[in-house]
Amino acid sequence: MKLGVNVDHVATLRQARRIDVPDPVLAAQICEGAGCDSIVCHLRQDRRHINDKDLDELRKVVKTKLNLEMSCAQEIVDIALRVKPDQATLVPERREEVTTEGGLDAAANKKIVRDVVKTLSSAGIAVSLFIDPEKAQIEAAKATGVECIELHTGRYANACTGPEIASELATLSESARFARSLGLQVFAGHGLNYENVKEITEINDIEELNIGHSIISRAVFVGLENAVKEMLDLIR
């Protein structure tokens, strides 16, 4: 299974002082050096962590795959068309949320999502949709013309009891299988950490995990290179 490391929270720490360290671009290089398969960042409309300059620099230095998480806002679409990440992952975005809370409602926003998918795909950018593990969302995602989806693992990560965890895992596993049966590539992420990732790695239909907060948090204690390597040991 592949690992994409989200470096947003390196920029979150930088923005706590509004200076220029720690640098998410240097972080991306260290993550790649440690063996990750892609770098993920989210250029939010409020620029609360990653900013336009970070994105330009990341495009220059990332050698694996640059995966830009983004909303469907025209301003961000225009930036994506200029920067040309290898992949764009469309996510919902609300200014007041602490982090991306739910998946994109591809079923309710078919037209805008289809238009953005078409625009980005025509520019040679692979497009993925971050959606909840639900049949209707997977079918809606397929109808927009994407080739890949990222299943939201937040409900699994937040589940507390054994039965709840088992039920969320079964939902993720069935969703991944269904998406694969439609010819979609399947990624997953959100809320995954060193304790809960193992069970997800047992779902063979999932190809790649995108993980941010837990890796950057662990890096505070063991260093970023070690934090990435520890996660790679768990998922490979």
Least CB distance to ligand PXP at residue 61 (A): 20
Of 130 and 178, CB closest to ligand PXP = 130
Backbone angles phi, psi at 194, to 5 degrees: -65, -20
42 noted as active-site residue: yes
Structure tokens at 27: 């972080």
Judged on CB neighbours under 10 Å (0-12, 13-18, 19+), 198 is: exposed
Point out the catalytic residue in the list 9, 42, 49, 152: 42
Per DSSP (E only), the strands in the chain are 2-6, 38-42, 66-70, 87-90, 126-131, 148-152, 185-189, 208-211
Of 163 and 185, CB closest to ligand PXP = 185
Least CB distance to ligand PXP at residue 101 (A): 9
Point out the catalytic residue in the list 9, 49, 190, 208: 190
List residues near ligand PXP by CB under 6 A. 6, 8, 42, 69, 89, 91, 99-100, 130, 150, 189-192, 210-214
9 noted as active-site residue: no
Of 30 and 148, CB closest to ligand PXP = 148
**Largest distance between two CA atoms of the chain:** 48
Least CB distance to ligand PXP at residue 18 (A): 21
How far is residue 59's CA from residue 206's CA, in Å, rounded to a whole number? 26
Residue showing tokens 């699994």: 156
Question: What are the catalytic residues?
Answer: 42, 69, 190
